[in-house]
Amino acid sequence: KKYWFNKHLSLLKQSFSGAPYLKDALDLVEEVYQTDYNNLGALSRASMLAILNYFDIAGSCQFFDVKDLKISGKGNDRVLSIVQAVNGNNYITGHGAINYLDHRGFEAAGVTVKYMNYQSLHYKQLHGSFTPYVSALDLIANCGKEGEGFIANNKSTIPWDEFISISLKK
C-alpha cells in the first residue's frame, strides 16, 4: 500500500485507541483504502458510501454522478442546473453557500433553498468534554451502529432568508 495509507491508519489507531468500536472504524477505513482511486472525489464518494452502508442508510438515498448528467457551467448556475436535472425542488446546503448562492435565483426557478441547522448532538467521546463536528469515524469509533441515531436525529433545516437573518446578527 501507499505510504500515506499506513501513516493515516496509524494516526487513526492512535487517535481512537481505547474507543469501544475502534475495530469497526478501522475496518471501514481499510475497506475503503483497498481500492486505488483516480482522484480525491472518487475516494470521498467511496468513503461516504461506506459510512452510509455501515449505518444501513444507503438504501434511502439516491446518488448521481454529475459527469453523467452532462451539465456545464460554473458556481451557482451549475448547482441550480444539477438540482433541476434531477427534478429537485429543494436544495439543502451547508453554511458556506451563504457566500455565493443566488437564493432569489433558485426561488425564481422554483427551487426552495434551506440551510442545515447542525444540532451538535452530544455522544460519549474518549478525551475530555464533547467536541462537535469531528468526523463520522469518530462517531463510529465511539458509538458503533448506535451512532446512526445521532445522524437520524440531526435533520433540521432553516429557510435561507431566516439563516441569513441569523447570520447577520452574529
Q: What share of the chain is helix, strand, coil (3-state, %, to 5)?
A: 55, 5, 35
Distance in angstroms (rounded) separating the CA atoms of residues 170 and 163: 11
Beta-ladder partners of 93: 115
- Note whether 107 and 164 are within 8 A (CB): no
Encode the chain (170 residues) as per-residue pLDDT tens digits. Answer: 467 888 999 999 999 999 999 999 999 999 999 998 888 888 999 999 999 999 998 887 888 888 889 998 888 999 999 999 999 999 999 989 998 899 999 999 999 999 998 877 889 998 888 888 888 999 999 999 999 988 776 678 899 989 988 887 76
Tell the burial category of 115 from Cβ atoms under 10 Å away from its Cβ (0-12, 13-18, 19+): buried
Distance in angstroms (rounded) separating the CA atoms of residues 74 and 24: 39
Residues with Cβ within 8 Å of 85's Cβ and at least 6 positions away in sequence, in order, are 69, 71
Distance in angstroms (rounded) separating the CA atoms of residues 126 and 109: 47
- Work out whether strand 90-93 and strand 112-116 pair parallel, antiparallel, or are unpaired: parallel
The edge-to-edge listing of strands for the beta sheet with 112-116 is: 90-93, 112-116, 157-159
Short-list 47, 2, 4, CA closest to 28: 47
Tally Cβ neighbours within 10 Å of residue 52: 18
Distance in angstroms (rounded) separating the CA atoms of residues 33 and 62: 23
Predicted local distance difference test score (pLDDT) of residue 167: 81
